[in-house]
Amino acid sequence: MIELERVEETSCDFATLVREHQAMVFSLSYHFLHDRDLAEEIAQEVFLSLHKHIADIKSPEHAVFWLRKVVVQRSIDETRRKKRRPQVALELVAEPAAASSRDSDPLLGEVLRRLIATLPETPRMVMVMRYQEDLDPAEISELLEMPLGTVKSHLQRSLALLREKLQRRGVGDY
Amino acid sequence: MDWLEKELAKALERKEPSPDFAAKLTARIESEAPRRSRLFHFPRWMPAAAAFVMLATSGSLAWRRHQGMVAKEQVMLAMRITAGKLNHVQAHVREAQQ
Amino acid sequence: MRSVGVLLLAALMPLSAQQFKFNLENLEKKASDTVDVSLSGSTLQFAAKFLDGKDPEEAKVKKLMSGIVGIYVKSFQFKAEGTWSQADLEGIRKQLHEPEWSRIVGVKSSEDRENTEVFVRTENKKIAGVAVISAEAKQLTVVNIVGDVDLESLADLSGHFGLPKLEAVPPKKSKR
């Protein structure tokens, strides 16, 4: 009976963690890979892994950190495994199709998501962490185990590239 | 945050997975858990599934609403894409008429 | 250089429709990314319940959806120009064959590098579906709306997404 209660408590936590964080986990993978089915698969695997390691989770904050770390690793692994995107210098990234003006374009969000998806994997993940999760550079640096200066550099260069591409298309508020 | 950063934050807002995501996860947990003797205690997966069911039942209305909002967003996305394409047609027809 | 087809938008009475679905497998295989929305039947009715009648945008969509039985949108993104071909485009057009389907407008813009065509499906001289094919260098979008499609409301929709309103134009004479 005691064992059952203990298991129930853990299971309730797990269910709560799934409900509270499934959007975060799925979205991190989706915005990185730009593939809904694959992102769902990876999100499932992340939570399966969480289920196996649930005893190691010390707090809700720890769970969030753990989930972010694992989904980042899995998503990057998937990219490398399938060679989903050739490594291209930022300046040479091809332009996806874009609409003509910000005010009349209902698909600006989709344009931006696709532009993000064409970035090399490291700056891509930095950008997703920054703008999906609203993490500051120091938090991103800790999560991705990357020097703070490198994180800032990726952010600056990626934003500059996006601005340039959008401005070329006549989209923007400059 | 400047304009671009605000747009990026909007574009990269969290999205929900498919409505049956949790159900699929439960099914996978059940199928991957090792079988145990039921003589003295429940199989390991059963409390997890039971807890899930309990939560699902008690939160069924909230879950249903959540599924509805996900479906609604898909409808709005489809309509926005369609409107964008029709707008392109309209802009050129107007120009041709002038 | 631009060539613009004549827009035919008759205010036709809505009518019930059979389900028509595109076969786009060959494009899916070539695409690097796909936006895929597929809603029909009870899912569509379920979604409609959550549209907010007080929000102008959602209210218009809710009204439009009353006669719609299916909404299918696929937008394919390709890594490089030339991935999709005219044969692919023709393959899509061929699925919209006469006499059920007729092309009511086509817009070709070399400046935007975007071609858009609008087709309507008719049953007993009434609209039973609308299809839109939009082709850009690295993107192909196919929209299929099945059911009692109120073209006036669909046209009106563009005014509610921050877009200029689509205006109806007097119909041209039918060739049939």
Q: What are phi and psi of C19, to 5 degrees?
A: -80, 130
Pairs of CB atoms within 8 A across A/C = 28
Helix, strand or coil for residue C104? strand
Measured between CB atoms, which of A35, A106, A110 is closest to C162? A106
By Cβ distance, the residue of B10, B48, B84 closest to A106 is B84
Amino acid at C140: L
pLDDT at residue B36, rounded to an integer: 44
- What residues of A are in contact with residue B9 (Cβ under 8 Å)? 131-132, 134
Q: Are C22 and C123 in contact (CB under 8 A)?
A: no
- Please count the other Cβ atoms lying within 10 Å of the Cβ belonging to residue A88: 12
Beta bridge partners of C27: none
Kindly indicate the confidence band of residue A100, based on its pLDDT and cuts at 50, 70 and 90. very low
- The whole-number pLDDT of residue B19 equals 87
CA atoms of A85 and A93, how far apart (whole Å): 11
Pairwise pLDDT comparison (C3 vs C30), residue with the higher score: C30
Taking CB atoms and an 8 Å cutoff, what residues of chain B touch A43?
Answer: 17, 21
How many angstroms from the chain centroid is the CA of residue C162?
A: 19
Cβ–Cβ under 8 Å, residues A45 and A67: no
- Is A94 in Cβ contact with C162 (below 8 Å)? no
**Cβ pairs B/C, distance under 8 A:** 116
DSSP lists the bridge partners of residue C105 as C118
> How many CA atoms within 13 Å lie on the side-chain side of C52?
6
Q: Is the pLDDT of residue C132 over 80?
A: yes
Q: Is the dihedral of CA A39, A41, A42, A47 positive or negative?
A: positive
pLDDT tens by residue, B15-70: 999 888 988 998 888 887 665 444 444 455 555 555 556 555 545 666 677 777 77
Rg of chain C over Cα atoms, rounded to whole angstroms, equals: 16
DSSP summary character for residue C100: T
User: Which residues neighbour A75 within 8 Å (Cβ) at sequence distance 6 or greater?
Assistant: A28, A29, A32, A33, A39, A42, A125
> Above 50 in pLDDT, residue C10?
no
Residue C155 has pLDDT above 70, yes or no: no
Alpha carbon of A95: minimum distance to chain C alpha carbons (Å):
9
